[in-house]
């Protein structure tokens, strides 16, 4: 009987093809990624058929095109309820499956057929409308932030942990004033 290969699928948001040495970048040092690409398979001709993160992730997780999986753009709070997923397909083939990192699905703890999930969807996705700036205020389902809260307590900086979502908001360096306070102060 042939032994099944171990499979590690690494997916990142917004990384250019040439942002690692194995794909020809002479400046960036990525020895671990280069080793994985050399010893495994590097999809050097792959592309996302949908440029937005949620529809692209749905296509990867379901094997369906955008018109079939129904995800058009960024939209929170829409249930991910698919009969067949990447996780369930691997489980049916006898694999034990795990996701580590960002899934950004709804509901948050939806495993999409994977056996285990170590989740870090980022402070902004999980708490965007809750204005929680300190880890002591955080009560969500993000495994990394729960670990950070346990290990660092009050010393942890939830906004500047470096593992936030895309930095589309300015970090509050040097000021704790809200936008309204800064506009009205003299």
Q: Which residues are catalytic?
A: 53, 104
Rg (CA), the chain: 19
Q: Are 90 and 69 in contact (CB under 8 A)?
A: no
For the four alpha carbons of 176, 104, 47 and 11, in that order, the dihedral sign comes to positive
Q: Are 27 and 16 in contact (CB under 8 A)?
A: no
- Residue from 62, 63, 134 nearest 105 by CA: 62
Number of Cβ atoms within 10 Å of the Cβ of 163: 14
Number of Cβ atoms within 10 Å of the Cβ of 109: 11
């Amino acid at each position: 009987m042939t032994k099944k290969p171990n499979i590690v699928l690494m997916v990142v948001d917004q990384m250019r093809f040439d942002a690692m040495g194995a794909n020809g970048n002479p400046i960036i040092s990525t020895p671990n990624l280069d080793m994985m690409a050399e010893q495994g398979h590097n999809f050097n001709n792959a592309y996302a058929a949908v440029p937005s993160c949620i529809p692209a992730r749905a296509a990867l997780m379901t094997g369906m095109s955008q018109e079939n999986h129904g995800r058009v753009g960024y939209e929170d709070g829409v249930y991910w309820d698919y009969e067949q997923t990447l996780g369930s397909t691997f489980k049916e083939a006898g694999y034990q499956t795990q996701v580590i990192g960002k899934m950004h699905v709804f509901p948050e703890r939806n495993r999409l057929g994977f056996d285990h999930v170590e989740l870090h969807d980022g402070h902004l996705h999980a708490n965007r409308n809750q204005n929680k700036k300190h880890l002591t205020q955080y009560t969500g389902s993000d495994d990394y932030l729960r670990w950070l809260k346990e290990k660092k307590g009050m010393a942890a900086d939830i906004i500047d942990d470096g593992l936030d979502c895309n930095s589309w908001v300015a970090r509050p360096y040097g000021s704790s004033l809200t936008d309204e306070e800064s506009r009205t102060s003299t």
